[in-house]
């Protein structure tokens, strides 16, 4: 895994690794704050400090192990995907920022029933009319790869924020039940700033999606194929 957190991602695995790096450091900070705020937990920490990989930072061993465990689990289960499914993040984006605009741009006039079908068959349609042409897999893209890379990199920052929000929420909840109300409120308040940031990042994601749609539909054969898929709904 590359430990350069600001490197532009080029494919889905590198995006997952980038998200995991930020999740690890967010979990490290959150665990450290919790241990510092709750004396009972702080007393349980062994005196041995260890160095965080690739940094000069030293933290208690238990803090490092908790952060590593959280980052590993989040990477294994793709935490941002699970949160996206729970909150309908990607579903809404796929339907309203990609599929419906794509149908309109291809010349397909969808009835209300057909629009409902788009929502029900979102994943299949994304494969048929979008990822078929805008794949991030090496050598499979049929449009300019730069547009795909920029969109993927922007989404990496979005999912980083989503996972950090989850960490902050869990930390604030733990602090609240530990009667550290001021710290819990401060961390919860930070989440509201991240929500604002997410709206900005999402707008960039939408613009990159529009660029990908334009790239796909600029070819008449692809536009006709997309049109036929939507008209057949």
Q: Is the pLDDT of residue 47 over 70?
A: no
Q: Is the pLDDT of residue 78 over 80?
A: yes
Residue 146 has which token pair? 């730069």
Task: List the domain boundaries for the chain.
Answer: 12-231
Residue with tokens 């061993």: 61
Q: Is the pLDDT of residue 207 over 80?
A: yes
pTM across the whole model: 0.90
Range of lowest pLDDT (40-49, 64-73, 102-111, 175-184): 40-49
Q: Identify the pLDDT of residue 45.
A: 66
| 91, 79, 185, 203 alpha-carbon torsion, rounded to 10° | -40
Q: Are 115 and 101 in contact (CB under 8 A)?
A: no
pLDDT 10s digits, 123-162: 999 999 999 999 888 778 888 888 899 999 999 999 999 9
Q: Identify the pLDDT of residue 1.
A: 44
Residues 6+ apart with CB under 8 A from 149: 8, 9, 10, 136
């Amino acid at each position: 895994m590359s430990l350069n957190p600001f490197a532009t991602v080029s494919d889905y695995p590198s995006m997952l690794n980038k998200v995991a790096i930020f999740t690890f450091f967010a979990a490290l900070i959150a665990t450290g704050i919790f241990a510092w705020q709750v004396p009972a937990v702080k007393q349980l920490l062994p005196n041995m400090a260890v160095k965080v990989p690739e940094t000069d930072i030293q933290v208690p061993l238990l803090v490092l192990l908790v952060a590593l465990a959280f980052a590993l689990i989040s990477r294994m289960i793709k935490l941002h995907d699970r949160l996206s499914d729970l909150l309908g993040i990607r579903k809404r984006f796929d339907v309203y920022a990609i599929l419906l605009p794509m149908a309109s741009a291809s010349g397909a006039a969808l009835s209300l029933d057909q629009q409902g079908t788009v929502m029900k068959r979102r994943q299949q349609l994304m494969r048929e009319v979008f990822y078929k042409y805008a794949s991030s897999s090496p050598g499979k893209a049929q449009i300019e790869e730069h547009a795909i890379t920029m969109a993927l990199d922007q989404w990496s920052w979005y999912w980083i924020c989503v996972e950090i929000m989850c960490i902050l929420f869990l930390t604030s909840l733990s602090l609240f039940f530990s009667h550290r109300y001021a710290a819990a409120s401060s961390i919860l308040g930070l989440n509201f700033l991240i929500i604002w940031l997410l709206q900005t990042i999402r707008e960039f994601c939408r613009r990159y999606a529009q660029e990908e749609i334009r790239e796909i539909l600029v070819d008449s054969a692809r536009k006709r194929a997309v049109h036929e898929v939507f008209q057949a709904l």
